[in-house]
Amino acid sequence: MKNPASPVAVELLSKELAHELEEQRGLFILRLHSAFLQLGESLQLFRELWQDDGAIAYQVAAEQGWNPPPTKWLRFRRSVFEGGFWQDVAETLAQRGGTSQTAQSAQPGEWCWWKEPLSGMPSVTGIKLLPGRHRGAVQHSFIHGAFGKHETYSAALQEQRAAILALPTLLASGDRAAIAHFRERVLSALWPDLAAGLRDTQHQHIIEELLNEQDSMLTWLAYMELAFDAIPPSVYAYIAGTGGSTLMLELRLLLPLLLLDTGSSAADAASELQQRLECCLGDEEEFQPPDQAIADLTTLLLQFRRAANEVHEIGALLADGRADELDLPRPARSTLAARMAAIRADKSCRECGSTEHSTPLLTVGTVNYE
Ligand SMILES: [Zn+2]
């Protein structure tokens, strides 16, 4: 319906669209919240070990995880824990949003790995390294990231880590010039296919609507940041051995791009990463205890991909509303840090709003209200 003449019709259609937008927002929030809680539960073992001693937890995870059969790297290196790197990342995450967030929480959904004391961590633990023992560790090597790239790619990711860690803030503030700069200067060098995919993404107007609206992208990004806070670095070491830091940076680079790409480039890459993880996980009956956490991390990746599509649908609805000159309420603007704090503070069920119970943990595919 283009330019409805009657004010009553405009009001009615505006209300209808506002309702539809609320439902769509609720859908992706429920999806992400549920997957986030699930991951928090299964990370318990990793969390406890990290709290005891992060450097040792990292080293042990690298040994016992998915390092591929030619695990010679373990015989040649005394340590795989890059203390300086993780200290740097911890400081960056602590400063995110400019607020001081120092108190650690005992609640699984609020615990942050970087709030554990890292200053005393030696870069070399001195513990004897052993080759990996994990059965399913053969299909893929994640040592240079999940995509079988090379050492130069890992080095370039490390070099660009400040820009990669800052990417969510660029999206949250809708800084189009900085986003374009990141795409052309940083992403083009690291991952040219993805940069090209983003440049040619079909529905740029949807991205524009979402950057204007802010709220939907902000919530999605807040869940992403909460997940990265909840995942101790030893999880990446379990998957990637010496490539733990590369894998973390790769995930942090790829995930926000899902929001910026309405085409398939970023989604295909995220899907491939998910499949590689699933492939190494093997049969559920043979899971080692840490594998359940990796399985739930895989589910979370899938749900971020689906939720990004739902956010794009919100953008399409907003674009329709604009074309029809409807009068939509604008959510108040906020910051990433404030949104993360609000999600942590809100103990209600994301499905029904009750404060008597928390959000149910849903299995993949069950969040479908079509
Ligand atoms: Zn409920």
Q: How far is the CA of 358 from the centre of ligand 1 (A)?
A: 7
Q: Which sign does the torsion angle of CA 138, 142, 147, 153 carry?
A: negative
Closest CA to 230 of 340, 111, 344, 54: 111
CA distance 149 to 152: 8
DSSP assignment of 150-163 equals -HHHHHHHHHTHHH
| DSSP for 194-241, written as a single string | HHHHHHT-TTHHHHHHHHHH-HHHHHHHHHHHHHHHHS-HHHHHHHHG
Confidence of residue 264 (pLDDT cuts 50, 70, 90): very high
Tokens representing 328 are 């939509």
Centre of ligand 1 from the C-alpha of residue 366, in Å? 15
Whether the predicted pLDDT of 283 surpasses 70: yes
Q: Is 289 exposed, middle or buried (0-12, 13-18, 19+ CB in 10 A)?
A: exposed
Give the residue among 198, 298, 316, 175 at the shortest CA–CA distance from 253: 198
Please tell me the distance between residue 359's alpha carbon and the centre of ligand 1 in angstroms: 6
Distance 348 CA to ligand 1 centre (A): 8
Average pLDDT over residues 158-179: 96
With contact defined as beta carbons under 8 Å apart, do 216 and 311 qualify? yes
Q: Lowest mean pLDDT: which of 47-51, 142-146, 246-250? A: 142-146
User: Sorting pLDDT into bands at 50, 70 and 90, what band is 370?
Assistant: very low
Q: Which pLDDT score, from 0 to 100, does residue 249 have?
A: 97
Instruction: Give the residue from 335, 329, 300 showing the smallest Cα distance to 33.
Output: 300
State in Å: Cα 307 to ligand 1 middle: 20
Angle subtended by helix axes 204-213 and 289-323, to nearest 10: 100
Residues in the 5 Å CB sphere of ion ligand 1: 349, 351-352, 354
Burial environment of residue 106 by CB neighbours within 10 A (0 to 12, 13 to 18, 19 or more) = exposed
Answer yes or no: are the C-beta atoms of 316 and 202 closer than 8 Å. Answer: no
Q: Rounded to whole angstroms, how far apart are CA atoms 187 and 189?
A: 5
The Cα–Cα gap between 241 and 332 comes to 43
Tell me the C-alpha distance between 218 and 336, whole Å: 6
Give Cα 287 to chain centroid, integer Å. 23
Distance CA 182, CA 177 (A): 9
pLDDT above 70 coverage of the chain, percent: 86
Q: How far is the CA of 32 from the centre of ligand 1 (A)?
A: 15
Cβ proximity of 248 and 145 under 8 Å: no
Distance CA 309, CA 103 (A): 35
More confident residue, 24 or 117: 24
Q: What size, in residues, is the chain?
A: 370
Q: Give percent above pLDDT 90 in the chain.
A: 61
> Ligand 1: distance of its center to the CA of 345 in Å?
17
The pLDDT value recorded for residue 85 is 92
Going from the Cα of 255 to the center of ligand 1, the distance in angstroms, rounded, reads: 28
Query: In the numeric block, which tokens belong to residue 361?
Result: 């943990």
Burial 115-128 (b: 16+ CB within 10 A, else e): bbebeebeeebeee
Question: What is the CA(215)–ligand 1 centre distance, in A?
Answer: 23
Give residue-wise pLDDT tens across range 213-225. 999 999 999 999 9
Q: Is 367 left (phi over 0), alpha (psi -120 to 50) or beta?
A: beta
Question: Quick one: pLDDT at residue 289?
Answer: 78
List, for residues 80-134, the tens digit of each pLDDT value. 788 889 999 999 998 886 555 678 887 878 899 999 887 555 555 545 555 555 5
Task: For the chain, give every domain's residue range.
Answer: 7-118+139-345
CA 355 to ligand 1 center in whole angstroms: 8
